[in-house]
Amino acid sequence: MSLQLDNLSVRRGGQTVLDGLSLPPLPAGSLTALIGPNGAGKSTLIHALAGLVPFQGEASLQGVSLRQLPPAERARRVGLLPQALPQGSGLSVYEFLLGGLRAAGASAREAEQASEAMLAELGLLPLALKRMDTLSGGQRQMVALAQALARRPGLLLLDEPNSALDLHWQLTMLDAVQRVVAERQAVALLALHDLNLALRSCARVIVLAGGRCRADGPPQQVLSPSLLAEVYGVLGRIEHSSRGEALFVLERLPS
Amino acid sequence: MKPDDLPLALRYRRHNRGRLAVLGGLALLLAASFLFDLSSGPAGLSLGSVLHGLWQPASLDAAQRVIVFDVRLPYALMALVVGAALGLGGAQMQTVLNNPLASPFTLGLAAAATLGASLAIVFQHLQPLPANLLVPLAAFACALGVTGLILLLSRWHGGGGATLVLFGIALLFALEALVWLLQFLAEANALEQIVFWSMGSLARASLQHVGLIGVALALCFTLAMRRAWALTLLRGGETHAASLGVNVARLRAITLVEVSLMTAAALAFVGTIGFVGLVGPHIARLLVGEQHRFLLPASLLCGALMLSLASIASKTIVPGLIIPIGIVTALVGVPVFIALILSRKGGV
């Protein structure tokens, strides 16, 4: 399984948000972070691949063009975890998952089996019959992740999945995503703001700025102080722990 | 085996059996209310006589036959189908517009129907059609026209549910102003007819009208149930639903057109009946939750039950006088709804 982007462009409101983006194939089994300042085009790229925003150019998953897939088929192959938490409606967690599967064409039995298996895999079975509006933000985001994964998509897209979560839930979520993506050999693309999470969890980082790719590669090679100063306009340094883990330390804004 | 050790699907089915029991209870209440509605009225016919007469019309004398077949039966059936249409329409509107205040009134459907009826009443003398045909036709056409206009404006603007509601509210005020203008210009007789129409009444009911609304209701309910999962997903948020393959804009447009057709058909024959389309779905939601496979039939049953009870109240509050049902639904329904909200601290 791999994802390939070729000359992908998105125009909205008369402005070019993504400008001819081409990337080497994104590999399966590990996480790829999409980082960049606000307005760089991260969420637009995620939404375009999920079919929520029209685009020009080509995006293909294992050789199959995403542009040509009908919505229901694309929803089966591509799982999206949107930035916004799912609304705290009166639906139960189990119904929320069942709904996603039934809308994608699964039979009642298939939907029941897949939902229960996914909730068990993410340790969410105790929440299964609770109403969504009684869950914490972290729990709701985990449920949304379960829904995105329940259809066993080949491509998993996460749009700033940690923006509403505390540290505990951020790590819980990313660890769960890492585990499932490795087990299923899926392609995973995450829009992230937290550089340390990108350094900690992702095998590859794509840096976007102004709708174009500014850098692409392993995070410890790509995330240099000079690039961060250029892209984000901040001064900082990368330090390494005794175990060799990289950490971005923010120093100050340029004077 | 403890309940928590059972497979999840089995526990969920048990949970759903409770919801089915609620639907069954609502249906029983509705049947009881319908029978009571049939037996109530100033003529003093008992329920037994009415039922016997329905079974064997020959057992009734001519006057009783008129009362049973031309008054009570259409009146009671009209309350059921109109209430059901408003309840079902309100539930779908609240979901696709993501707005708990949405109802056939929010988008100006009722105001449009009133304007159509008012135009027909005021300008009736300028054309050959009889009033009992022209007024509902004009009300229906106006309600549909306004729905089309709102959908066109929203499509042109590119907005979502909130934009639709804003357009609807803006048009609602404009339509009301036009109705007031017509009332201001109308002659005394026409003014009286407009005011009476806008109060909402089942007195104009006939079995043909019941049949027409019933067909629209059955069609709309069948189509809505086919979309039940997509509507359920929409309760998790538009982006989530869209990411799961739901074409949100299409779902919203189709649902609004169908609901408008159904509610416009209902309002065209009975006039303005408020509150049922707003509150029926909320009561249903409190009873069975958000899963639309249960919420849609529960909203239909709650709407029908509310209007059937209101029909009984309209005949019994003041003996010998039938109060327009639109007045009763608000006067009786509001305290009941507030009591329901207060009984649930988490809110509706």
List the single residue in B with minimal CA-CA distance to A118: B8
Q: With an 8 Å Cβ cutoff, are B245 and A144 in contact? A: no
* Residue B118: inside a domain: yes
Tell me what pLDDT residue A137 has.
Answer: 85
- Best of A69, A73, A95 to substitute, by most chain B Cβ atoms within 10 angstroms, is A95
Rounded mean pLDDT, A180-191: 91
Domain membership of residue A166 (yes or no) is yes
Does any domain span residue B181? Answer: yes
User: Tens of pLDDT along A43-102?
Assistant: 999 999 998 888 999 999 988 898 888 887 888 889 999 887 777 677 889 998 998 888
Does the CB of B61 have a partner CB in chain A at under 8 Å? no
Q: Is residue B301 part of a domain?
A: yes
Q: A248 — contact with chain B (CB < 8 Å)?
A: no
Residue A209 half-sphere exposure toward CB, CA atoms < 13 A: 12
Which residues of chain B are within 8 Å of residue A94 when distances are taken between CB atoms? 8, 12
For B290-301, what is the mean pLDDT?
95
Predicted confidence band of residue B348 (pLDDT cuts 50, 70, 90): very low
Express as a percent the part of chain B with pLDDT over 70: 97
> Which region among A191-205, B62-76, B333-347 has the lowest average model confidence (pLDDT)?
B333-347
For the cut 50, the answer to whether the pLDDT of residue A7 exceeds it is: yes
Q: How many helices and strands, by DSSP H and E, does chain A display?
A: 9, 12
CATH number at residue B233: 1.10.3470.10
What pLDDT does A58 receive? 92
- pLDDT digits over B76-98, tens only? 999 999 999 999 999 999 999 88
Q: Report pLDDT digits (tens) over B206-256.
A: 888 899 899 999 999 999 999 998 999 888 788 888 888 888 888 988 998
With respect to residue A230, please indicate whether it lies within any of the assigned structural domains.
no
pLDDT at B175 over 60: yes
Residue B5 lies in a domain: no
Provide the number of structural domains found in chain A: 1
Stated length of chain A: 255
pLDDT at B1 (0 to 100): 52
Tell me the residue range of the domain where B89 lies.
Answer: 76-343
B232 touches chain A (CB under 8 A): yes
Distance from CA of B9 to the nearest CA of A (A): 6
By CA distance, what is B249's nearest residue in A? Answer: A52
Token pair, residue B245, equals 């393959």
What share of residues in chain A are helix, strand, coil (percent, to 5)?
40, 30, 30
Q: Identify the residue with better confidence: A220 or A125.
A: A125
* Residue type at A221 in one-letter notation: Q
CA distance B251 to B246: 8
Residue B318: inside a domain, yes or no?
A: yes
Q: Is residue B8 part of a domain?
A: no
How distant is the Cα of B16 from the closest Cα of chain A, in angstroms? 11
**Residue B36 placed within a domain:** no
Report ipTM for this prediction. 0.77
Is residue A53 a part of any domain in this protein?
yes
Please state, in angstroms and rounded to a whole number, the distance separating the CA atoms of residues B88 and B324: 22
- Token pair listed for A209: 């700025």
- Tell me if B260 is assigned to some domain: yes
Scored b (16 or more CB within 10 A) or e, B312-326 reads: bbbbeeeeeebbbbb
Strand (E) positions, chain A?
Answer: 3-12, 15-26, 31-35, 56-61, 64-65, 78-81, 155-159, 187-191, 204-209, 212-217, 235-240, 246-252
Residue A100 lies in a domain: yes
How many domains, chain B?
1
Give the residue-averaged pLDDT of B118-138. Answer: 82
Average pLDDT, chain A: 86
In the stretch 64-93 of chain A, residues with CB closer than 8 A to chain B read: 71-76, 79-80, 82, 84, 86-87, 89-92
pLDDT surpassing 90 at residue A234: no
- The edge-to-edge listing of strands for the beta sheet with A3-12 is A15-26, A3-12, A56-61, A64-65
Amino acid B347: pLDDT: 45
| Residue A167 domain boundaries | 3-219
Q: Which of B38, B81, B300, B78 is nearest to B207 (CA)?
A: B78
Interhelix angle B73-96/B276-288, nearest 10 degrees: 70
| Among the partner residues A50, A72, A91, nearest to B232 by beta-carbon distance | A91
pLDDT average, residue stretch A194-215: 88
Share above pLDDT 90 across residues of chain B, in percent, rounded to a whole number:
29
CATH number of the structural domain spanning residue A134: 3.40.50.300
Q: How many CB atoms lie within 10 A of CB B85?
A: 31
Q: What 8-state DSSP symbol labels residue A84? A: S
Q: Identify the bridge partners of residue A78 per DSSP, sorted by sequence position.
A: A155
